[in-house]
Amino acid sequence: MSTNIYRIVHRENLNLILGDKKIFAPNYGKSSKYIPIGEMELIKERANLQILIEPGGTIKDYVAFYFGVRSPMLYCIKNGFDVTRKPQNEIIYLISSMEKLIELKMKFVFTDGHAFAAFTMFFNNAKDLNQIDWNAVNLVRWNNTETDPDRKRRKQAECFVYKDIPLKAISEIVVYNQECFDYISQVLKKHKTKLPIRIEPAWYY
């Protein structure tokens, strides 16, 4: 069984990704036409977050993925909390896996929680994947509680791929509804690219 990783992007960005045949980290060639969906202040702060293990650099030298679906960030995007509100049918999942990263000899780091939390740990060896709280990662309801005031942080464990990730590392695209499925099908057809597409409304809010 593979350890999947999930990147959420605005569907309009798929044209750029297919044209480049890879996803670039922010510091490595991202187009000015790229539509950001994250919290802008957080995106700016990421430029200054140093990675203290190999291969080093800052978070903006990496392509970010989550280890689970229904991230708190997607909830914010759906509701317009601290970010520009976007309809969920405009947000798509690009899926890869840790096994694929290793097969392609890609450099990566990953965390046991939200990268900006003071006590989040960083790792660069897949043998440490057991440090992730997989129960928290897979929660549908992830809000902090009195008995577990840290589970929102653990839900947001991330994988960061150094510099870029090639299109061949993406195994599948998941979308919210049939309208988005049809849209993405046309984009793939235009770029003469074959990738499986699946509708999974349960991965959304």
Positions annotated as catalytic residues are 46, 158
- H/E element, 77: helix 72-79
Question: 23 with 63: CB under 8 angstroms?
Answer: yes
Question: 93 with 6: CB under 8 angstroms?
Answer: yes
Give the distance, in angstroms, between the CA of residue 191 and the centroid of all CA atoms in the same chain: 23
Question: 131 with 121: CB under 8 angstroms?
Answer: yes
Question: 88 with 80: CB under 8 angstroms?
Answer: no
Q: Tell me the residue type at 189.
A: K
**Cα–Cα distance list, 51 to 12, 88, 202 (Å):** 30, 31, 33
Distance CA 113, CA 188 (A): 33
